[in-house]
Structure 1
Amino acid sequence: MTLLNIDISYLNDRLKELLKIPSPTGYTDEIVRHVSKELEALGVFYEITRRGGVRARVSGKSRRPARAFVSHLDTLGAQVKSLKDNGRLELVSIGHWSARFAEGARTTIFSESGAYTGTILPLKASGHTYNTGVDELPVGWPYVELRVDAYSKSVDDLHRLGIDVGDFVSIDPAPEFLENGFIVSRHLDNKAGVAVMLAAIKALVESDIEPTVDVFWLFTIAEETGHGAQSILTPDIASLVAIDNGTTAPGQNSDEFGVTIAMADQTGPFDYHLTRKMVQLCRDNDIKFQKDVFRFYRSDAATAIEAGADVRTALITFGVDASHGYERIHMHALRSLAELATGYALSPVEIQRDAREFADLKGFTRQPTADADQTLNPETDEPLPEPAGE
């Protein structure tokens, strides 16, 4: 197939807009509204769950076996754990991220009385006061505090400001979009994945090509705390492809360029056949790709399986340097992911049996074995076509 044209400027602009919207897990209403309005502008049907998960659909030639992509709108963040006698705030993290990356971060505290800016600082923040004690302080959330940019020298002052235990704290992303294609920011996990999905939807809609089957585009609101896609799937969906970040670091095979296809994460291997299809689509369409295995990682796909969904899952990623910290990615990976997403959406369905939730062995998939009959299609049991002549 010919790859659809991805509007890079659109992708870039959507990512910039998404990064401006604070959305730590549990505080996602605004970003849900933003994405929903963008889907409306694209002319795409969508519906929202009670809590704010967004399920969009691009109709295909058949209803089943439907396909789905998923990215999450929520990000890492923090909450106020306690009000301190010195007028500062003790924090607890939202999601799993190190306080090492919190030190020095600019923040916004959302209280019932309004929003306040602030800075996360180590308990010993001044070298002029503590000398080498600044460097000797351990790393961890008990060793940082949030300084509020308002008159606040006591618990009473904090109460006067309307700040209380449980208030949400968003971490400012401080994004930089460089001319060489690199993007440096917090929260690229997974606002970059959301931007990729929106760009892919735009390309599909503008192509006026009807997908093979219905394609759902799922935007979840609690992936960072382990909930993800538990309650947003429909029975029609047979395959779920998560779009998220891959970790570029020593010992990993991920890359900031091209698509990184995850073969497994900490919950186990991804679906053999769906993952293989992602690889083949990359090969057939000259999309740069590499494979990786993530040992300390889980995505929306994992939560769907753990919730009992009988769906094939895959994870395709953009390589992120310093994930869950001050992250860096490249536009090449985002474009490649959007191209792959459209390629999958328009590709034929090989496993027709997936249209049914239960069936007999006819059409059930095969995986290679040492004594497999090489004359049969491993996924249909039908004879392979004779090789073409010279």
Structure 2
Amino acid sequence: MTKPSVDCAYLLGQLEALLAIDSPTSFTDTAVRYCSRELKRLGLTPEITRRGAIRAVSQGGRRHGARAIVSHLDTLGAQVKAIKPNGRLELVPIGHWSARFAEGARANVYGSRGILRGTILPLKASGHTFNDEIDSQPSGWAFVELRIDAVTGDAAGTAALGVEIGDIVAIDPMPEFSDSGFINSRHLDDKAGVAVMLATIEAFQRSQASTPVDIHWLFTVAEEVGVGASSVISPEIASLVAVDNGTTAPGQNSSEFGVTLCMADQSGPFDYHLTRKLAQLCADNAIPFQKDVFRYYRSDSASAVEAGHDIRAAVVAFGVDASHGYERIHRDALTSLADLLMAYVTSPVEIARDANDLAGIESFTRQPSAQG
């Protein structure tokens, strides 16, 4: 059977729709509802955990030894730390990102009486007032504040608007899709990964593809704070592939084109056999790819392994420039990833013993050995 082509227009349309939904960690209900509706429209039956992680299963030839694909719906953001005497808001970040990328951002403040608009500014924002001090002031969350677009000049006035400590602040993505294929936006990590998964599912359903084992399509809601896929892995899953961003910074081997295979992150190396299978699938299907190692990086796969799940884990990535800032990707990486996922979920199972929790040494895997 000819491998079905991924619908690029559908993929980009899903990315655009997802970017329009505010979903910083702990504020993901709307994104969960959107994704669940789309999965149901595509013919799957989504199941939702208490906190909002999604699982939808495509039945294959066998239940045990299932494969899982995961991406995360949550993004970076901020919370109100304090209402300042001048009526502006002190912030703390949701997830790990620099305040220098927050400066100048437009944002939604989700208060008890509705949504308020505002701008995140450095404390010294006017060159006409502070002259060269605007360039010499430190960078950090203690040195920015959120200016609300409402009539208020003191803490009492802001509180009267329904703003409270702990309120969620969602940062505008400001997406731009260029004719050259580049996409600039905040929150491409990991809205782009979710769009890749939905496009893969669309192609999978359209082609009525068959798989040797069940495929679990997973969408998590707390990856940016380290929780990730720690609690959404069911016992029948043998392998997990996370779809996330790679970093195209100096000193890295990632690219904004093709697939980037993450060989290791700060949690350690990913599964030897699974990562090599993914590389071989790229080679066999003429999918351009490169490998990389990330020192300051975590993913859904790392969270699952660290939570104690005995699964093979890997990460496949789209290269992102300026990750956790104002990010840029290219649609080529997204379609390449979807092609790889389709090849992976329909590929034969090489390690049959993975269907069992425990098995004898006779069927155990082998790696190259200098000892013969």
TM-score (norm 2): 0.99
Q: Residue 61 of structure 1: CA displacement?
A: 1.2
What residue is the counterpart of 1:38 in the other structure? 38
What residue is the counterpart of 2:261 in the other structure? 261
Alignment of 1:160-239 (within 5 A): 160-239=160-239
Rounded to whole Å, the distance in 2 between the matches of 1:202 and 1:209 is 11
Rounded to whole Å, the distance in 2 between the matches of 1:129 and 1:207 is 63
- State the secondary structure of the residue aligned to 2:159: helix
Alignment of 1:1-390 (within 5 A): 2-372=2-372
Q: CA RMSD in A?
A: 0.7
Rounded to whole Å, the distance in 2 between the matches of 1:355 and 1:220 is 24
Q: Residue 159 of structure 1: CA displacement?
A: 1.2
Rounded to whole Å, the distance in 1 between the matches of 2:187 and 2:272 is 30
- Show CA shifts across 1:8-63 (max 9, x none): 00000000000000000010000000000000100112100001000011111111
Q: Residue 370 of structure 1: CA displacement?
A: 2.2
Report the identity percentage: 62
**AA partner of residue 84 (structure 1):** K
Rounded to whole Å, the distance in 2 between the matches of 1:323 and 1:109 is 23
**AA partner of residue 353 (structure 1):** R
- State the secondary structure of the residue aligned to 2:121: strand
- Show CA shifts across 1:107-132 (max 9, x none): 00001110001000000000000000
**AA partner of residue 111 (structure 1):** G
- State the secondary structure of the residue aligned to 2:13: helix
- Aligned partners of 1:263 and 1:291 also within 8 Å: yes
Rounded to whole Å, the distance in 1 between the matches of 2:3 and 2:98 is 40
Unmatched tracts of structure 1, length 5 or more: 373-390
Q: Residue 256 of structure 1: CA displacement?
A: 0.1
**Structure label with greater radius of gyration:** 1
Q: Residue 333 of structure 1: CA displacement?
A: 0.2
What residue is the counterpart of 1:388 in the other structure? none
Q: Residue 2 of structure 1: CA displacement?
A: 4.2
Q: Residue 264 of structure 1: CA displacement?
A: 0.4
Rounded to whole Å, the distance in 2 between the matches of 1:236 and 1:192 is 27
Rounded to whole Å, the distance in 2 between the matches of 1:263 and 1:293 is 5
Rounded to whole Å, the distance in 1 between the matches of 2:299 and 2:284 is 27
List 4+ stretches of structure 1 deviating above 4 A.
none
Rounded to whole Å, the distance in 2 between the matches of 1:100 and 1:357 is 47
Give the total of aligned pairs: 372
- State the secondary structure of the residue aligned to 1:245: strand
Rounded to whole Å, the distance in 2 between the matches of 1:145 and 1:159 is 16
Rounded to whole Å, the distance in 1 between the matches of 2:57 and 2:323 is 30
- Show CA shifts across 1:265-304 (max 9, x none): 0000000000000000000000000000000001000110
**AA partner of residue 155 (structure 2):** V
- Show CA shifts across 1:188-240 (max 9, x none): 00000000000000111111121111001100000000000011011000000
**AA partner of residue 141 (structure 1):** W
